[in-house]
Amino acid sequence: MYHNKVIICGVDTSNLPKLKKEEKEKLLKKALDGDEHARDIFIFSNLRLVLSIIKRFNKRGENLDDLFQVGCIGLMKGLDNFDLKHGVQFSTYAVPMIIGEIRRYLRDNTPIRISRSIRDTAYKALAAKERLTKELGKEVSIALISKEINISIEDINVALDAIQEPVSLFAPVFNDGGETLFVVDQISDEKNLDSKWIEKLSLVEGVEKLSPREKSIINMRFSEGRTQTEIATDLGISQAQVSRLEKNALKSMKKYVT
């Protein structure tokens, strides 16, 4: 199949069964009645549906086996929640379940972790935007969305930015037939400017001038991110002493970076 891969999760996708509509309907009824054997056959006969859906996501570089397994979970959830009273074909009902399961997997396994509250804000904003756009028949502003869901414009913008797909620094942005221009070429390096480099050397020199205890406190506070109370407990001194030593250390270091 795609990428010349026929075996996915141990399943030979070239030999998946093709059942007639009547056969699937009979298996579906038996599966819904609790027949485990019919359930297994029905799920296996619908794996082509999962395969057709994961093709939509194969450009993301995700492992196909992982996507297939997640898609199968969505398929099984679709069967578990399906009711003949829905009046629709099983595939019509199952497709959104499979897609939803895959999207949830991709969202939760993104290398950039996003808090649930930020994701919830983003999804509320997107839902409100879709609803208002249909009602008003035009694109709506963030200000209007903010008023609709009672969330600040700043929080909405942060949330929407957070759920955007990350772009590779080496993604091409322009090619005139010669040398390709990449995203990384358009980003200025704020960290390695000469002034920053000199400032860093000065800071290192300032730290070296501190007493061992001051140096330890600065390291724990700003490298390890620990609180003054935690440091006080470790060093066996009061929080007030830690605060005073920290202030003295910073005052001393300031001489070397100004």
Kindly report, residue by residue over 34-50, the tens digit of the pLDDT.
Answer: 899 988 888 888 888 88
- Please give the DSSP secondary-structure letter assigned to residue 180: E
Evaluate if residue 150 carries a pLDDT over 90. Answer: yes
pLDDT at 248: 86
Q: At what angle do helices 47-54 and 90-108 cross, to 10 degrees?
A: 50
Residue 198: predicted pLDDT: 47
Report the candidate in 36, 39, 41 with the shortest Cα–Cα distance to residue 18.
Answer: 41
Look at residue 258 in the predicted model and tell me its pLDDT: 53
Neighbours of 230 (CB within 10 A): 15
Least confident of 15-19, 201-205, 248-252: 201-205
Give the helix/strand (H/E) hosting 228: helix 228-235
Using CA atoms, how far apart are residues 197 and 75, in angstroms rounded to an integer?
55
Q: Model-level pTM greater than 0.85? A: no
**Candidate from 104-113, 122-131, 157-166, 208-217 with smallest mean pLDDT:** 104-113
pLDDT digits (tens, 9 = 90+) for 58-70: 665 667 788 888 8
| CA 244/CA 233 separation, integer angstroms | 15
Q: What is the C-alpha separation between 113 and 107, in angstroms, rounded?
A: 9
DSSP state for residue 167 in the 8-state scheme: -
- β-strand partners of 8: 11
Among 96-105, 198-207, 229-238, name the one with the lowest average pLDDT.
198-207
